[in-house]
Structure 1
Amino acid sequence: MTPDDLPTRCDVLVVGAGPAGSACAQALARDGVGVLLVDQHRFPRDKVCGDGLIPDAHAALRRLGVHDEVMDRAQRATHVACIAPRGGRVEVPGTLAVLPRRELDHLLAQAATRAGAMLAAPWRFEAPLLDGGRVVGARLRAGERLNEVYARWVVLATGAVPQALIAAGLCRRRTPSAVALRGYVRHDGLAGRLRALEVVWHRRLARGYGWIFPGPGGVFNVGVGLTHSHAAGADGRATMADVNLRAMFTAFAEVHAPARELLAEGTWLGDLKGAPLRCSLDGAAWSRPGLLVAGEAAGSTYAFTGEGIGKALETGLLAAHAIVRARREGLDDAAARAGYERSLAALKPRYDLYERANRVNHHPWLADLVIWRARRTPALVRRMAGVLDETADPSQMASVRGVAKLLLPMR
């Protein structure tokens, strides 16, 4: 769609064509809703991410009817390898895959257009259009060009960068919850040997972790993440922790032999790129009259693991469900917003569990203890698999009671 084709009115304007926005647009269009989906970049476009698809993402992709299409392009995996500071390793089974976001997001956006949504790019959200305090559309910018689009609902799915939230009056915390740095490296030799998604804890990566995820075509996504990256100082302003992510990335290669081999012998594809993360459904209001917030803009990423694709998809589907239900049942704005916020609030307790499990990132010795015990206790590996597929409480393994249990005999 060219700038001249941009409509001035639609039923729902979805801003951001990542997983949350495209899932929302597809679900709405399938129900006969007139949807305009806009993104600030032309597709296909890159997105800094670990690219891992864990069980919740697989479930959402099946709901969208695109799972087979995604898996045809993805690199499948059967285990996450958890690697402790002292080198202990345990492989946790799960339904897993890796596909670069450049491809995944393009597939999802195409699925939305096949369902009937209109996709327009590059258009960036400038500000909401208001009528008596209710959002009735948005002002969009493409270069020097400004357009106004009026809509019954606006869904903001603009990711972790806070500018759109600020413009919409919904931002409660401008700084991110975490930051990450990743690159792509091709190494055909490692492709045959490194098949699990590797996550590494080490004291030199304190407050975070490193990862190597095998993708299609012998290309690995390798990176480091720093959790709780920003904290409020004495003046109340949040600043980033005194950690150099590039130095952390270098340390990862020094402490983890496969990372060292990959970076020394592989072929870099592009540059290292960094990105913020918004976690734990925190940092933004979830709605205002006429507008819903979905995906990472709402904080849909898990704090402990940094995984966000599955929950971004899920929140996009929840936003679509709230709008469709309001249309079908004749609900007013307040009822539609309340329904959506209840659906996010129902997810919040699990996010809180992952926030508590973040102790492992802050205290790498906990990873040593958990992995040491898991190597000797099949029941603990099953609990770890339950964390991966969201049937077990991740915080228990990082609590005082959980640690005490690890020191006692287990069956």
Structure 2
Amino acid sequence: MPYDYDVLIVGAGPAGTACALGLAGSGLRVGLLDKAQFPRDKVCGDAIPSPALKALTRLNPAWAAELRELTAGYRTDMRTSRLVSPAGTGVSVHWQAPAFNSPRLQFDDALLTLVRRHTATDIRENSAVKTVTADAQGVTVQLADGASLTARLVVGCDGAHSAVARALAPAPLDRTRHCAAVRAYFEEVDDVPATTSDFLFLGRYRAGYCWVFPVGAGRFNVGFGMLSSDVARQKLDLKLVLQELLATHPHLVPRFTRARQLTPIQGFGLPLGGSARPLTGPRALLCGDAAALIDPLQGHGIDTAVISGLLAADHAARCCAADAFGPEALAPYAAAVQRRLGRDLARRYRLMRLLARAPWLVEGAFRAAQWPPLRRVLVRAMA
């Protein structure tokens, strides 16, 4: 059959743009579509971990440098994490690897700008997906506006509620491997150095934390998240929980006395990595949140999204070169994600559950971290 594209990427966030960048120069016809018009906001913690930047640097150092230029004025380079235990014990961790916080409104738009500048990708915004079907001949993506697109292979990078995953690699929601979170933007927050992110762990709400992240231009991403199974069991409204924490937590009250809330509190979901969630389907690869690759211990996922997007680009090119799209041809992608990310995510999920069941262990770790040699050991275990 005649195809519109060799590879059609659904979702233009970090996973989708990384996949498009990874396919630059491949000679393949690549399409990248998203339901939104960029720049668009994405409810998130806005942390850009160092592995994401390292992966882009390995792909093309000039592109990584250009990304920093594009986000100048819309980011804060991070040097320190301040952690507070449920009992109030504090630990500061200083990082050497480059990382920054940046609102997704600007960060995702910067990544898409790199795709526009450096690839021949056909970008389609305002293109919501209605249905996705696949057979031995190819993949057909029906858009909400009535348009129909065909491809040899589809790459699902369309987030936690992925239309590609629902259609071609469905998996039931497991609340024990899913986090719910809320966030809002503030300004005039006190005692938060520009290069420092704050994490507060809470005895009442285990398997989660509250955060205060500077994101540039005097703004702060402030949020709270925890396991969805615990949210359901305790019948919590996370928006109310965050408001309560800001009004009552002894480490937050003095910081937010003068603070001004800039946006409503909004919620989002985080499908945690380390599970047996399918990463492939008929003529389909899944990346990022669509593949449930959120770090269970720290809650970030932009690094795993970028890495999985680049792995998908590599395997999509191989499949197209061999004209092979069956399960045996797609299986190496799942194996590569498992080697690069899956094993570590599974280990971190087990550690997260252990810490949630044993609050005494959390306090013991914080006390041990007061001694610099043990702090270095604990940081390596959690980083």
Assess same fold via TM > 0.5.
Answer: yes
Q: Which residue of 2 aligns with 1:211?
A: 211
Shift of 1:299: 0.5
Counterpart of 1:128 (choices 120, 127, 132) is 132
Q: Which residue of 2 aligns with 1:118?
A: 122
Distance 1:362 1:46 in 2: 35
Counterpart of 2:140 (choices 137, 140, 155) is 137
Change (3 A) 1:185 1:332: closer
Checking the alignment, whether the CA contact within 8 Å between 1:208 and 1:225 is kept in structure 2 is: yes
Shift of 1:381: 1.8
Counterpart of 2:27 (choices 22, 25, 32) is 32
Q: Is residue 218 of structure 2 the alignment partner of residue 222 of structure 1?
A: no
Secondary structure of 2:146's match?
Answer: strand
Shift of 1:309: 0.5
Shift of 1:135: 4.5
Q: Is residue 12 of structure 2 the alignment partner of residue 17 of structure 1?
A: yes
Taking the TM superposition and a 5 Å limit, the aligned residue runs for 1:70-89 are 70-72=67-69, 73=72, 74-89=75-90
Distance 2:316 2:374 in 1: 42
Change (3 A) 1:306 1:36: same
Checking the alignment, whether the CA contact within 8 Å between 2:319 and 2:330 is kept in structure 1 is: no
Uncovered stretches (5+) of structure 1, i.e. residues with no partner: 1-6, 232-237, 390-411
Q: Which residue of 2 aligns with 1:51?
A: 46
Distance 1:281 1:345 in 2: 9
Change (3 A) 1:332 1:217: closer
Change (3 A) 1:162 1:351: same
Q: Is residue 149 of structure 2 the alignment partner of residue 149 of structure 1?
A: yes
Change (3 A) 1:271 1:283: farther
Shift of 1:67: 2.8
Distance 2:233 2:20 in 1: 35
Q: Percent identity?
A: 28
Q: Which residue of 2 aligns with 1:379?
A: 373
Taking the TM superposition and a 5 Å limit, the aligned residue runs for 1:243-392 are 243-254=236-247, 256-257=249-250, 259-282=252-275, 284-329=277-322, 331-346=324-339, 347-358=341-352, 359-376=354-371, 378-387=372-381, 389=383
Q: Which residue of 2 aligns with 1:202?
A: 202
Distance 1:11 1:187 in 2: 49
Give the residue type in structure 1 aligned to 2:373: A
Shift of 1:83: 1.1
Shift of 1:189: 5.1
Change (3 A) 1:37 1:241: farther
Shift of 1:170: 1.5
Checking the alignment, whether the CA contact within 8 Å between 2:7 and 2:155 is kept in structure 1 is: yes
Q: Aligned pair count?
A: 369
Change (3 A) 1:33 1:162: closer
Give the residue type in structure 1 aligned to 2:9: V
Shift of 1:244: 2.0
Change (3 A) 1:206 1:289: closer
Q: Which residue of 2 aligns with 1:404?
A: none
The superposition leaves residues 276-298 of structure 1 with CA deviations (integer Å, 9 ceiling, x where unpaired) of 11111537421123111111110
Range with bigger deviation, 10-19 or 255-264: 255-264
Distance 2:104 2:233 in 1: 26
Shift of 1:194: 5.6
Structure 1 vs Structure 2 CA RMSD = 2.4
Give the residue type in structure 2 aligned to 1:75: T
Checking the alignment, whether the CA contact within 8 Å between 1:223 and 1:249 is kept in structure 2 is: yes
TM-score (norm 1): 0.83
Change (3 A) 1:135 1:83: farther
Give the residue type in structure 2 aligned to 1:153: L
The superposition leaves residues 58-110 of structure 1 with CA deviations (integer Å, 9 ceiling, x where unpaired) of 21232344332343422111121121112211112223310111111111111
Uncovered stretches (5+) of structure 2, i.e. residues with no partner: none
Q: Which residue of 1 aligns with 2:180?
A: 179
TM-score (norm 2): 0.88
